[in-house]
Structure 1
Amino acid sequence: MASGLNFGVKASLPHFFGICFGFPSMILAVGFGLGYVFERYAWLHALIQLVGIVYLIYLAWLIFRAAPRHERKSISKPLTFLQAALFQWVNPKAWIMGTSAIAAYTTVGAELYLQVLVLVFVFWLMTFPSAGVWMMGGVWLQRVLTNPVHSRLFNVVMALLLVASVLPILAELIAKYWR
């Protein structure tokens, strides 16, 4: 959404496609063996979640402090395809969704690889409309957020929502490792 808001559709397409291919590739890796690594070394999964939480809170801080779009002297560039694809690998929400889907929609001992491939294909198909709606929502907001006060309020609300989205993950980590 932020990319669509700040850069429009054309400039956001590499970011969009990075998400559309990065997330399913993460699901594929988890389904084809990374899940085994995380079962043996649970701390590694927790570390990736913690890094993701810290990064998302950092992004929330940047959003919170950002000047309204039309007041910025220079606008940075949107994420590249590779940056957006790699971001999926540190996004704790993506990890939770991916690992939960594999646990919920696969059956141990029954063509696991085929099940994972079907799951990856479904996620790949659904990521296009899902990420597209968010990007187009950002483009729509370009027209709405012309008032600096509204633009500032939007940044604050988005930052707070981003922080709120990681609180359940943080609570789960605390409950799991600091009992």
Structure 2
Amino acid sequence: MAALIELSSILIPLLLFTLLATATPGPNNTLLTLSGSRFGYRQTLPFLFGIRAGITGLFILMASGIGGILNQNPHWYLYLKLLGAAYLVYLAVKMAFSKGHKQQNSPANLIGFRQGALLQFINPKSMMMVLSCITAFSLPGELYLLSVIQACLIFNLVGLMSNSAWTVFGSLISRFLATELARQRFNRMLAILTLVAVALLFI
């Protein structure tokens, strides 16, 4: 009973942190909006679920001690940031300049489950969010594992809703883009926002 009370005491702050972390613009949400506008909600679901799977993998790694190693070796983290930034730029450019109408887009241009999952391991924002979440909302001693599991579940649940909202937004707004030129401009605007989000990670 005492354990449940202690876990529940951090639940509201955890929910607020997770909402701010997952609902705000960032590389994941911008790419989901871009994918939703190009391919629609259903076809973007593998990418969305890949993101959540990757976040879960990050929780496992960070909670097992990788986060502490990165803190002790900041140059490793810098290398990961550079690698992640390069890959995010590649994905943004790939999707922004893919040709053809929404219904005719090639599956080759679609970001899938595996890409979405692997992206999280080199996505600087995802790594920072997960490490911050574990640091702030894990409890010492016997409650450490339970508190990390709670943080992971809440983070993924709220993140799933936030990611879905951004994907639906992209899918809905594409209906108002009557011409291919308008669609391309919208996609390129989102690509630019992705590049801005990446740049902000280095400030």
The TM-score normalised by the length of structure 1 is 0.80
Q: Deviations over 1:27-50 (max 9, x none)?
A: 232122111221332222221111
2:123 to 91, 110, 117: 91
Deviation at 1:110, TM superposition (A): 7.1
Q: How many residues end up aligned between the 2 structures? A: 170
Equivalent residue in structure 1 for 2:137, among 105, 116, 121: 105
Aligned to 2:106: 75
Matched residues, percent identical? 28
Residue identity matched to 2:55: F
1:72: how far off? 9.6
Match status 1:37 vs 2:55: no
**Contact preservation (8 Å) 2:120, 2:126:** yes
1:54 positional shift:
1.4
Q: Matches of 1:9 and 1:71 in 2, distance apart?
A: 11
Structure 2 unpaired stretches of 5+: 1-32
Mapped partners of 1:114, 1:98: distance in 2: 16
Give, in whole Å, the separation in 2 of the partners of 1:72 and 1:11: 11
Question: What code does the residue aligned with 1:120 have?
Answer: C
The residue aligned with 1:60 is 92
- Aligned residue for 1:137, secondary structure, equals helix
| 2:59 paired residue number | 27
Following superposition, the deviation at residue 162 of structure 1 comes to: 0.7
Give the AA of the match of 1:112.
Y
Separation in structure 1 between the aligned mates of residue 196 and residue 35 of structure 2, nearest angstrom: 20
2:36 maps to which residue? Answer: 4
Q: Confirm or deny: 8 A CA contact 1:9 1:136 kept in the other structure.
A: yes
TM-score (norm 2): 0.72
Among 109, 112, 122, the residue aligned to 2:154: 122
Deviation at 1:71, TM superposition (A): 8.6
Shift of the 4–64 alpha-carbon distance from structure 1 to 2, 3 Å rule, reads closer
What do you get for the CA RMSD once the two structures are aligned?
2.5
Mapped to 2, the partners of 1:50 and 1:110 lie a distance apart of 37
Of the three residues 70, 79, 84, the one matched with 1:47 is 79
1:164 maps onto 2:196 in alignment: yes
Cα contact 1:31–1:102 (8 A) shared by 2: yes
**Which consecutive segments of 4 or more residues in structure 1 shift more than 4 A?**
71-74, 107-110
1:52–1:106 CA distance, 2 compared to 1 (3 A): same
Structure 1 range deviating more: 82-91 or 108-117 = 108-117
* Structure 1 counterpart of 2:168: 136
Whole-angstrom CA distance in 2 between matches of 1:42 and 1:113: 26
